[in-house]
Structure 1
Amino acid sequence: MRDLALAAPSLDALAFSMANDLYPFLQFYQAVVFAEHEGGRLELLAVSGLAKPGEDSPYLVWLMRAGRFLATQAGGDAPVWLARDRLALDDDLVEGWQEWWPAGAWVLPVLDREGHRLGLLCVLLDEPPPEAFPGLLDGVRLTWSYCWAALSRRRRRFRIRLSKRQYTIGAVVLALIMAVPVPLTVLAPAEVVSREAQVVSSPVDGVVERMLVRPNQQVEAGTPLFALEETTLRNRVSVLEKQVAVADAELMAASQRAFDNPQSKGELAELGGVAQQRRAELAAATAQLTRSQVKSPKAGVAVFSDVNDWLGKPVVTGERILSVADPGKPAMRIELPVADAIALEPGAEVTLYLTAYPLTPLHGKVLETSYQAKPSESGVVAYPLLASIDGVPAHARLGLHGTAKLYGQRVTLAYYLLRRPLAAVRAWTGW
């Protein structure tokens, strides 16, 4: 039993060993282990035959009342035999004892070196143990006491007892701390973009045949960016050329007939209008054909996702294909979620912590704010913001992502900590 007690890894394991290891020697009905805390409060640790006494059954509820009574009867440091017939029990204890317990209980206190009681071992028997048995158990009891004291130190909590004055001073200090003004901040996802980026869209309806540049490629003004499929436009130009030739021939024939036939003079105006209409359609189709290859309107960097995303894709007039950005004028594009929105004015400070460069943040100020929220690419409804970047840092490359910290007006620390909980409570209660 000593070896099992010394090998116990926790107080619960030690109590389980105490409640079960005596059975081969005493043949008891049941053994119960209680831990005694400050103020005389008892805690049920183990019941023989049960892995963990955690159920609120009627027996366990009564057992706690019986344990408190036995603790008052076992006042010394030696084991004591408590017979039911010789105890002044309350009616509820008598009824439970007769139903669940045998004739008596042998109570063994567990003490520390200073003589303070740590717990009780209650062994339920029909008759007292043999006279020589308590003396034989003294060594085991000392081992239990030593192990109990060592294991209970791990569970002891550090408690500070404060006076009323100290509580008052603490409350005042806490109130002063909560009144300290701090800047109201919020975090939002952000991306490095260019302040001067020009969108390049499709000039006509068609299908993208070739992308003539790669993503993030440096381009000059007039550099071809992409080309649309020309087959449909060429066929249309060819058909319109034939229609123009037919209209011109009909107009020439009507002009010749007008010398001999006065009625043909009335057809000249109509045929002339048809010929002009055919020439206008041919000119428009020819202009569209010349615009099938789109060129860069300025020098910069071609910004788009992937070449394969556009090859063979049908597009309509005005559909955005890519943008040409100036890398020398970086800025922050911030998506501020509606749930985290705070009052921001142009000029508010912003710090961007890039994912690729977490130790070298970018600093700037808010340039533009939006009063209309819209779904972002991640599906979160957010307000789009644009912020400047101080200087031209070398690591402020277009397309880098990170987390932006936006600084609003100064508020008290209490408001800073309770803003989100109060907003959630008001949204839930409608108050």
Structure 2
Amino acid sequence: MTEPLPHPQLLLAIAALRDRALAADSLNALGFSIANDPYPLLQYHQALVFQQQGQSLELLCVSGLARPSEDSPYLVWLQRAVRWIATQLDDDQPRWLGRDALTPPADIAEGWAEWWPKGLWCIPLHDRDGQRLGLVLFLLDAAPAPALQPLFEGLWRTWAHCWASFARQRRLLRWRPGKRQLLLALAVAVALLLVPVRQTALAPAEIVSREAMIISSPIDGVIQSMQVRPNQPVEKDTPLFSLDETTLNSRAEVLGKEVAVADAELMAASQRAFDNPQSKSELTLLHGRVQQRRAELAAVKAQLQRTQVRAPRAGVAVYSDPNDWLGKPVSTGERILLIAEPKQPAMLIQLPVADAIALEPGAEVTLFLTAYPLTPLKGKVLETSYQAQANEEGVVAYRLLASIDGQPEHARLGLHGTARLYGERVVLGYYLLRRPFAALRAWSGL
């Protein structure tokens, strides 16, 4: 007795599923077709497609979902469940797993009862070498009809064939060089490491004046007013700042009265000396006291004349902010501002100790100003400090002064930028590994 032939519509539906699988242009598109297209034939609750990644299975697609949320409780449990299901499949043939016929672990059985129906139709997908590519799970209430399972064999083998072609393309993209190619690449790398290059270092820099005069406080006092603005051009004898004269005026007034008293006492003693010879001995003492008071008064008046500080030469007044100085007590010799010559600019470079290279006077320098990055300044190192000191940012650095070639208009005092310093020629390997070698030697002590 011959078996009845399958219905033509069923054959056409399976052929259409195979055509869709063959038309997939990527592994993700194939997984989407596997998870969603067979629904009219199987009427499953859900379809899950997993990709074999080494010893684990990674969820590739879920029917009805564009992109599953990996942190949901269901998918967290699913990762444990699929590892157990993979142990139940011994070969490459589809298998029906019924919940009542199995004894899964307690946590998997609890999740199965909550999220899954009574059974799973598991279809493992293998390549020609027998290596598992993926796993397809159809969640069903009952096993597929016996007449349907043989027809699905050609479909899932088509899935496996398409999957293997995508996996082969991925392996081709992961090109692995041969031994000869590795040796050639190593030889090229060694040759590149021996290429001579110019050793360079980067450091923050500022444009300063080579001819700058420090203006300090002539006496102890309090700043009353700043009479020039920052970066203001000044001429010789231009008032720069003044100190408060209140204390000195009071002191001068008191000393003036003390001088008058001392003069009166000296005059009275001189008149008594005509009648009283004993008063002559007081004349020397009183005369010395008068001279002392006059000297003190002259000193105070001299200080009053120095409360107004003037520019000793023409230039530009360089300091931060007038509000930082108004009302501030200062001592004799304390630096207040600079009088700089703008026509003689130079680069003041702070080279960190960690980036220091061997430099000699005359080494080339290129300064890239932040305000003018497309017009760098060229120059040469004029002087270097042999002792590193902490700068305002707390970085221990060497102080270098470099010239500026020509008379560029944008080389204005106070502009900041990054200076590139050029040292001696070294091989590229030393250039790249200098700091790692220094750190390794400091750590190892070798």
Length-normalised TM-score, structure 2: 0.75
For residues 338-367 of structure 1, give each alpha carbon's deviation from its aligned partner in whole angstroms, at most 9, with x where no partner exists: 332223222222111001110110111122
Cα offset, 1:399, TM superposition: 0.8
Query: What amino acid does structure 2 have at the position aligned with 1:172?
Result: A
Cα offset, 1:276, TM superposition: 1.8
Query: 1:357 and 1:395 mapped to 2: Cα distance?
Result: 8
Alpha-carbon spacing, 1:425–1:56, altered in 2? closer, same or farther (3 Å): farther
Report which stretch shifted further, 123-132 or 338-347.
Answer: 123-132
Do the aligned partners of 2:126 and 2:133 also contact (CA within 8 Å) in 1?
Answer: yes
For residues 370-408 of structure 1, give each alpha carbon's deviation from its aligned partner in whole angstroms, at most 9, with x where no partner exists: 233333223333222211111211110111111111122
Residues 253-292 of structure 1: pairs in structure 2 closer than 5 A: 253-292=268-307
In structure 1, which of residues 32, 46, 53 is the aligned counterpart of residue 59 of structure 2? Answer: 46
Query: 1:308 and 1:224 mapped to 2: Cα distance?
Result: 17
In structure 1, which of residues 175, 192, 203 is the aligned counterpart of residue 190 of structure 2? Answer: 175
Do the aligned partners of 1:81 and 1:128 also contact (CA within 8 Å) in 2?
Answer: no
Do the aligned partners of 1:20 and 1:31 also contact (CA within 8 Å) in 2?
Answer: no
Cα offset, 1:83, TM superposition: 8.0
Do the aligned partners of 1:15 and 1:46 also contact (CA within 8 Å) in 2?
Answer: no
Q: State the SS of the aligned residue for 1:297.
A: coil
Cα offset, 1:160, TM superposition: 3.4
Query: What amino acid does structure 2 have at the position aligned with 1:121?
Result: L
For residues 38-86 of structure 1, give each alpha carbon's deviation from its aligned partner in whole angstroms, at most 9, with x where no partner exists: xxx676232898855789977665666667x53xxx3xxxxx44589xx
Do the aligned partners of 2:194 and 2:427 also contact (CA within 8 Å) in 1?
Answer: yes
Query: 1:196 and 1:27 mapped to 2: Cα distance?
Result: 89
Alpha-carbon spacing, 1:140–1:166, altered in 2? closer, same or farther (3 Å): closer
Query: 1:359 and 1:120 mapped to 2: Cα distance?
Result: 57
Report which stretch shifted further, 277-286 or 377-386.
Answer: 377-386
Alignment partner of 1:34 is 2:51: yes
Query: 1:336 and 1:425 mapped to 2: Cα distance?
Result: 22
Residues 80-91 of structure 1: pairs in structure 2 closer than 5 A: 80-81=93-94
Cα offset, 1:174, TM superposition: 0.9
Cα offset, 1:12, TM superposition: 5.6
Alpha-carbon spacing, 1:152–1:240, altered in 2? closer, same or farther (3 Å): farther
Query: 1:119 and 1:160 mapped to 2: Cα distance?
Result: 20
Query: 1:175 and 1:55 mapped to 2: Cα distance?
Result: 52
Cα offset, 1:147, TM superposition: 9.1
For residues 309-332 of structure 1, give each alpha carbon's deviation from its aligned partner in whole angstroms, at most 9, with x where no partner exists: 222222222222111100010001
Aligned-residue CA RMSD (Å): 4.3
Do the aligned partners of 2:57 and 2:134 also contact (CA within 8 Å) in 1?
Answer: no
Do the aligned partners of 1:227 and 1:294 also contact (CA within 8 Å) in 2?
Answer: yes
Of all paired residues, the percent bearing the same amino acid is 55
Do the aligned partners of 2:231 and 2:316 also contact (CA within 8 Å) in 1?
Answer: yes
Residues 24-423 of structure 1: pairs in structure 2 closer than 5 A: 25=42, 33-35=50-52, 44-46=57-59, 52=70, 70=91, 74=92, 80-81=93-94, 99=104, 106-107=122-123, 109=125, 119-123=133-137, 129-132=145-148, 135=151, 158-423=173-438
Report which stretch shifted further, 176-185 or 357-366.
Answer: 176-185
Do the aligned partners of 2:200 and 2:420 also contact (CA within 8 Å) in 1?
Answer: yes
Query: 1:147 and 1:161 mapped to 2: Cα distance?
Result: 22
Structure 2: gaps (5+ residues) = 1-15, 63-67, 109-117
Query: 1:16 and 1:331 mapped to 2: Cα distance?
Result: 68
Query: 1:279 and 1:388 mapped to 2: Cα distance?
Result: 53
For residues 288-314 of structure 1, give each alpha carbon's deviation from its aligned partner in whole angstroms, at most 9, with x where no partner exists: 101111110111111122223222222
Do the aligned partners of 1:106 and 1:122 also contact (CA within 8 Å) in 2?
Answer: yes
Query: 1:204 and 1:240 mapped to 2: Cα distance?
Result: 19
Cα offset, 1:245, TM superposition: 1.9
Alpha-carbon spacing, 1:165–1:65, altered in 2? closer, same or farther (3 Å): farther
Query: What amino acid does structure 1 have at the position aligned with 2:59?
Result: A
Query: What amino acid does structure 2 have at the position aligned with 1:33?
Result: F
Query: What amino acid does structure 2 have at the position aligned with 1:269?
Result: T
Query: 2:267 and 2:428 mapped to 1: Cα distance?
Result: 90
Query: 2:261 and 2:25 mapped to 1: Cα distance?
Result: 105
Alpha-carbon spacing, 1:175–1:150, altered in 2? closer, same or farther (3 Å): closer
Q: State the SS of the aligned residue for 2:421.
A: strand
Query: 1:286 and 1:311 mapped to 2: Cα distance?
Result: 23
Length-normalised TM-score, structure 1: 0.77
Query: Partner residue of 1:89?
Result: none
Do the aligned partners of 2:201 and 2:421 also contact (CA within 8 Å) in 1?
Answer: yes
Query: What amino acid does structure 2 have at the position aligned with 1:308?
Result: N
